Structure 1
Amino acid sequence: MSLYLLKFGGNAIRGHDDMLRLSREVAELIRGGCSVILVHGGGPEISEEMERRGMTPKKVAGVRVTDADSLEVAEVVLRRINSDMVSCLEECGVTAVGIPGYFCTVCTRKAPVTVDGEEVDLGLVGEVSGTDPNSIQDLLDQGITPVVYPIGKDAEGRMLNVNADTMAAGIAAGAGCTEMIAITDVPGILMDVSDPSSKIDELTLERVDELIADGTISGGMIPKVEACRKALEAGAGAVRMVNGKDPDSIVTDIIRGVPHGTLITKG
């Protein structure tokens, strides 16, 4: 049986209509005999809630600097998104349960990063150091679709904010997923960012490195492909980037054998 991990965030899937559309496709995947794990972020929504509370979001090297107050905001917002997604799945006939990342992973605190020669402490930010695939598999065996939000814990039980791509990569590898599908706000990897028809259908990590080196892959696309790399190097079978705004098919083209998004393999 094929096992897919779908990762989405607020830039690609946001609000009831988007979640319902994705849920219908998840239901179709399951009816087709596949098992599905969902992992979601909520970066835009977290930043908006922080600003609403008079807090200033801060990112360093693409990672949200997280103190105790901003961790509390992140958890509140992520729980709300999680609950909404579970409701949409159930509306489409999918039995689902929302769980925090620490249900199936162990995390460690992320080391400080160096920016312009200065070391910056990211605060309560974690990265996945281990996965318990049995906790996920037990749910799947019962016909339950897990919906994971990326709040982790370290070995001492301290809560940590984890990048959703990082959480998804760790779970995809640990659970032995056939494919991790990163639902983004772009059609895939493009040779020309202004031309959707320049999408690359399939490439290896070696080719990814070449495209980063020549500047074809740049800016916000780099963290997306680096998350794909982490999943592949940790053991995921393949990673596919697809467009969450595609009106025709976000993920179900995959089981129909229709080329969709950009497939990245280890090579």
Structure 2
Amino acid sequence: MTWTGAEVSVVAGPSVVAYPPGARYGPRRLADFELVWLLSGEARWTWRHAGRHGALTLRPGELLLARPGLHDEFRWSGHRTTHHGYVHFTLPAGAEPVDWPWRRRLTEHDPITALLRYLLWVGGHHGATHPRIAQVVGAVVDLFGNGPLTPPSRVRHDPVERLLDAVATAWAAGPRPVSLAELSRACAMSPAHLSRLFTARYGTPPGVALELVRLSLAADLLVRSDLTVARIARTVGFEDPLYFSRRFRLRYGQPPSTWRTGGRDPRAPLDRRGLGPLAWRLTDRHP
């Protein structure tokens, strides 16, 4: 379930409060939704809601979502100052699934973590009435309730994972062709069997898939740099610019020079084959 900025109404915040050691807040009855996240310190939170009750110890890296009608109380650390961020808001009627969690533990790379930082930045620089606040709160609550998308787990000793590790190592100094024989040696497996395993997972033989990744990098450079076609070809591992142009035209339907003036989606050939996750895994598109 998602909401637009117009459907989320911010009541108070976002802001940060510093609580001295031993401070308490409550008991209170909450009239709206509230997101609370600790930046430092610790808190003990007790609550009653819809015939249920409980208690949680809150620490940095955790996000709490309190519901309207809830009775709760906070007891802050008795040993040090505690800082927490908060924002109060309302959602459209009926937008509270019963299976929402009360608390979610965040990680460094969880998108919610970045959104909360941005939420405080926008509020601090532009005020709580800025329309972007409601949009960000909607995104945070959607991710909180439904959970961020998680990458597929990597299976230890999986031959295809070893193949991808070998490609990443070979590409450390820049993308280049990597033969199946080279990959099979790195994986201690016959080329034919390794190719079958890779194709079963990605639907495309490894040589074709890796070339498509290199061509997508070239397509980006064609429209986002002033490098010559020959320089771009070498950058993605094609020593012969003419051969690069032929392979590019085969996959993109036009020569590199034409793509440079009107190309739009460098990932299109990858996405048609479902190879976006492979490209993400192997390239430095992300930090």
TM norm structure 1: 0.21
**Which has the bigger relative contact order, CA under 8 A and spacing at least 6?**
1
Provide the TM-score with structure 2 as the length reference. Answer: 0.20
Give the number of the structure whose alpha-carbon radius of gyration is greater: 2
